[in-house]
Structure 1
Amino acid sequence: MIRSARSGLRSLLPEADDYRALRSSWRADLIAGLTVGIVALPLALAFGVTSGAGAEAGIITAIVAGLVAAVFGGSNVQVSGPTGAMVVVLAPIIASHGVGAVALVSVLAGIIVLAAGVLRLGRAVSYIPWPVIEGFTAGIGVIIFLQQVPAAVGAQGGAHSSNAVAAAWEALAQAEWPQALLPLGAVAAVAAIMLLGRFAPALPASFIAIAAVAVISALCGLPLSTIGELPRTLPAPSLPALDAAVVTSLIGPAFAVAALAAIESLLSARVAATLADTGHVNADRELFGQGLASVAAGLFGGMPATGAIARTAVNVRSGARTRLAAAAHAIVLLLVVLVAADVVSVIPIAALSGVLMMTAARMVSPATALRVLRSGRSGATVFVVTLAVTVAFDLIVAVGIGLAAAAFFALRSLSRMSGAHRDPLPGDPQPGDERIALFHIEGSLFFGAADRLVDAISSAPDVEVVILRLSGLQLVDATGAHALAELVSALERRGATVLIKGVRPEHRALLERLGVIASLRHPNHLFAELDAALAHARAHVRRAAAGRID
């Protein structure tokens, strides 16, 4: 057991194979890291500002978490840092508990994600249906866009800042016109440059857009709110203030953050694996690495981190093949802090809002939404419900409700595929066959279908022998087995002899434990072949008829 535990822990730690391709790919990895660093800079700043934690928290998270996840994560090309989805979850936490809670939430959530990796829960994300994923992705995009409305019109969210819809509406109502046209113009300029950047995908359009707006704003002395002073070095690591009451109040939010970090990181790693042959993704190690990354970010005063799908995709498409690329991206951002903090501090917040609005717009893919809506009524309903709950309430609640809706439709479909049908007796008719009922049960005998299948059999006209064919039964759960035992007992009480044919080996233990076999009148009433069961039934009917004649 100890040896197994050591082996399991070793699989979560860095190994030499992580850098097997480094000798041939180091140039491409460094170029990819530089490219991703340029792309990540405006996003890290923007996500920090939008969450309410500040630009400093965003850049610290990108540096610290990006480096730790690059070394300890389960993907060779995953790029980690602050993300839009995390901003959506953090914003109401900061609104309720204050900025000081961010570092503590980051550490708590990181410990939870780390524990999930140690407990081998990495494959759990595969149980999330596609419509749920697309629904909360689109919902995140809508929320991020709405969160930028206050900065885009130079207003504040007000009392309803924990809800993006209410905050956007209140900001529009508070905006002072025509002064609000100036930040709106900055947003429009950023959006225009990023749209033009689609014709030159090799250029970092968001970086160019922010730089252009910042230069024009500085030269013209435009009265636009800016990021403000940034640290010129990383702060020293320290434990967040620990207070029992505060920790208790943040456990719930920490679990929500941890769930999001795990889901988004694993999805991002899975997407990266489809973009290029960059090696195996270890889902459990990915959770372990992302947990360490969030803990480290919290110790330096940063935010919880996740794998970033957009930055990871840029990394792969830029030629990254090993972890050096993601580590280099973090070092590029560190150099920005050490060398160019004064330059970054004059970036207008409206320019960052423009970048995030464009990022959010790209997250809501009309083509993908149309495919989901055309996939069927159940998939479309799950997608719409998840999207609506994400925007109106909470991301984690939305995932839970989406999973519940998907499970409901899946169980309903599975139930409809199940049935109990009365078959004609095979072979030439014989006297007394009308007193024998042959039923075959197919599909699944589970809690969603058990009552309906049992009713179909128990409502049959009175007969002397009932043969139940179970060889077509694919799935049996405890509820189904219990219902079957009660059915056999009820038929026996009515005077009908029950014969069971074709119990599959994988079902037999459950049927025995829940009394299905014991409820038969005689142990010999269990058959492997239909001919033998039918012969026994006919013999029983003949004996009963002879007894009536006597």
Structure 2
Amino acid sequence: MSLRQLLPAAADYRGLRRTWRGDLLAGVTVGIVALPLALGFGVSSGVSAEAGLVTAIVAGMIAALFGGSHVQVSGPTGAMVVVLLPIVAAHGIGAVAAVSVMAGIIVLAAGALKLGRAVGFIPWPVIEGFTLGIAIIIFMQQVPSLTTPRPLVAGEHSSNAIVAAGQSLAAADWSYLPWALGAAAVVAACMLLAPRLHRGIPGSLVGIVVVTLLCVLLPTPLAVIGMLPDALPAPQVPLLPVDSLAGLVGPALAVAALAAIESLLSARVAASLADTGAYDPDRELFGQGLASIGSGLFGGMPATGAIARTAVNIRAGGRTRLASLTHAVVLLLVVLALSGPVGTIPLAALAGVLMITAWRMVHLATAASILRSTRSDAAAFLLTALVTVSFDLVVAVAIGVAFAGFFALRNLSRATAVNRQPLAGDPVPGDERIAVIRIDGPLIFASADRVFAEATAVHDVGVVILRLSSLDHVDATGAHILSDITLALERRGITVLIKGILPGHEKLLRTVGVVTALRHHAHLFRDLDDAIEHARSHIRREQSPAVREG
């Protein structure tokens, strides 16, 4: 892929004269929705609310300009929070910016190497299991912020979100818990009820404003975000000792894998929500890589495409990149003009936002349909969710894909059939010594051994005709097994004729040695009647004591 294909072009803004009003309105709407999420994900990641805002602004702007989707909105996400928490616990807050830059370089390189289509290999049940696991983790991660006003000490609780939630409840400050639960409940109620009044009401922002005003007017023990800067920090290269950077290679690879997967999935879903033009997966990786690099240089977090904010953008009328850029500008104006009021937002209110966000990530109807589909898909869904919650997000996707792939191969191998067919037409003496064996479906490594066993399980025959015209697909192992079948039968004195090699398979079968395994090059046929007539001539010569096969 040329560099020009990865860079912004005038075509990115085709139709802007017609859509600019809707794009500006959508951008403002998404900016309002993104504000509490950026703050909440920044706090939940163990870094800071400032880091969440910086990521939404810097990464959101860069991804809008360089990404492969016209409507994708990027920034901090819940899935990334899940990965970052263990990194902060193990390496400190200062490592997050370095990981962001390192992961961004990896994602950028993946885009340049045209690896964007790889997300198509992730099965739907694995994606949904992954989403369910993330939702559970995000919900459970909010429990510690509801149980105590003090910041948690690194290593105080387990790195597993569910275990940590239980530990924090066991050590809860019961004088603080009712206040925190009340604040979270008010926000949750606003988020659930506001859409019933009007779809355009940003329930999360309304809830945060209500709780913040109550905390300003009433004496409460609720912990707040605290002082925020009134400008973006100056960009700088994260400086860490060399040995520390070496220890961050593994985490950076995990973050890069997650950023690539989540961004591509989000862009793919966005392309199906409205007619906003196709997305370029390689350019999307390139843009998201640049976004994470830029975010890291400004002290932010790794960024990904955010499907919830992207969906809001599309529903609000966003059709070009102007909407995503406007969203970043709105958040920048918040930093420049409203950093003081934003700093008074209670952390419990943000916890309420994220809990409802996590709840909305779970689609019960979708989960039910997967569980009712096939046993293998249901198992892949549950296994991916379980591993996501218990261990690691990227590992969960890898295990889920491997699990689903195993069952897909098993089902594919079962589609391969080996059948002995009767000879067409009136029988002639000696026909019982001719076996027509038809191989249908895909002939791949997963079915090769079974095909060999069934195709060579013939007895008391002198000629075997292998019918290959119904093979859907043949890999190298499948081609090699055809050669082995031919040689095994020939060693038993059985002449093998092959009928119906498809043009698309011929080169592979000749390269692997199927044709050379035949006793004679004339034992290849395109027509079954010709193959049967040749087989009968072999049987006649076999039954004549004066004739010997050459």
Question: Into which bin does the TM-score normalised by the smaller protein fall?
Answer: over 0.9
1:112 alignment partner AA: I
Match of 1:172 in 2: 169
Quick one: which of 175, 182, 200 aligns to 1:202? 200
Of 398, 401, 420, which residue of structure 1 is paired with 2:399? Answer: 401
Give the equivalent residue in structure 2 for 1:367: 365
Q: Distance in 2 between matches of 1:239 and 1:109?
A: 14
Query: Given that residues 176 and 222 in structure 2 are in contact (C-alpha distance below 8 angstroms), is that contact kept between their aligned partners in structure 1?
Result: no
Aligned residues: 544
Percent identity between the aligned chains? Answer: 62
Q: Which residue of 1 aligns with 2:444?
A: 446
Distance, in Å, in 2 between the alignment partners of 1:250 and 1:29 is 39
Q: Is this contact kept in 2: 1:29–1:322, CA < 8 A? A: yes
Q: Say if 2:188 is the partner of 1:191.
A: yes
2:58 is aligned with 1:64: yes
- Aligned-pair Cα RMSD in Å: 1.5
What does residue 84 of structure 1 align with? 78
C-alpha spacing 1:405/1:18, structure 2 compared with 1 (3 Å)? same
Alignment-mate amino acid for residue 354 of structure 1? G
Contact preservation (8 Å) 2:157, 2:168: no
Structure-2 separation of matches of 1:243 and 1:517: 61
| CA distances 1:201-233 after superposition (whole Å, capped 9, x unpaired) | 211100010111111112112011111111111
Equivalent of residue 294 in structure 2, options 282, 293, 296: 296
- Residue of structure 1 equivalent to 2:328: 330
SS at match of 1:547: coil
TM-score in terms of structure 2 length: 0.96
> In the alignment, which residue of structure 2 is the partner of 1:122?
116
Q: Distance in 2 between matches of 1:252 and 1:462?
A: 61
Give secondary structure in 2 for the equivalent of 1:499. strand
* CA shift in 2, pair 1:160/1:426, >3 Å: farther
Q: Which residue does the alignment assign to 2:217?
A: 219
Q: Shift in Å at residue 483 of structure 1?
A: 1.6
Judge conservation of contact 2:19–2:319 (CA < 8 Å) in 1. Answer: yes
User: Which stretch shows the higher mean deviation, 331-340 or 243-252?
Assistant: 243-252
Equivalent position SS for 2:284: helix
Q: Deviations over 1:326-354 (max 9, x none)?
A: 11111111111111111111111111000
Following the alignment from structure 1 to structure 2, what is the Cα–Cα distance between the partners of residues 118 and 130? 26
Counterpart amino acid of residue 304 in structure 2? T
Question: Aligned partners of 1:160 and 1:546: how far apart in 2?
Answer: 88
What is the CA-CA distance between 1:548 and the residue it aligns to? 7.4
Alignment partner, residue 15 of structure 1: 9
AA at the equivalent of 2:481: A
What are the residue-to-residue correspondences of 1:81-120 with 2, within 5 Å? 81-120=75-114
CA distance in 1, matches of 2:428, 2:23: 81
Would you say 1:490 and 2:488 are equivalent positions? yes
Q: Which residue of 1 aligns with 2:318?
A: 320
Match of 2:349 in 1: 351
Among 130, 136, 147, which residue is 1:136 paired with? 130
Would the alpha carbon gap of residues 297 and 516 (structure 1) be closer, same or farther in structure 2, given more than 3 Å must change? same
Show the counterpart of 1:230: 228
How big is the shift at 1:18?
A: 1.5
5+ residue gaps in structure 2?
A: none
Q: Does 1:33 align with 2:27?
A: yes
**Higher mean C-alpha deviation, range 493-502 or range 266-275:** 266-275
Give the 4+ runs in structure 1 shifted more than 4 A: 155-158
**Deviation of the 1:178 alpha carbon:** 4.3
Partner of 1:421: 419
Query: Which amino acid is the alignment partner of residue 107 of structure 2?
Result: V
Which stretches in structure 1 are left out of the alignment for 5+ residues? none
Higher mean displacement: 141-150 or 240-249: 240-249
Aligned partners of 2:433 and 2:539 also within 8 Å: yes
> Residue 544 of structure 2 aligns to a residue in which SS?
helix
Conserved 8 A contact 1:95-1:161: no
Match of 2:140 in 1: 146
Partner SS state of residue 11, structure 1: helix
Once the two structures are TM-superposed, the CA of residue 549 in structure 1 deviates from its matched residue by 9.4
Q: Give, in whole Å, the separation in 1 of the partners of 2:176 and 2:227.
A: 25
Matches within 5 A, 1:390-539: 390-539=388-537
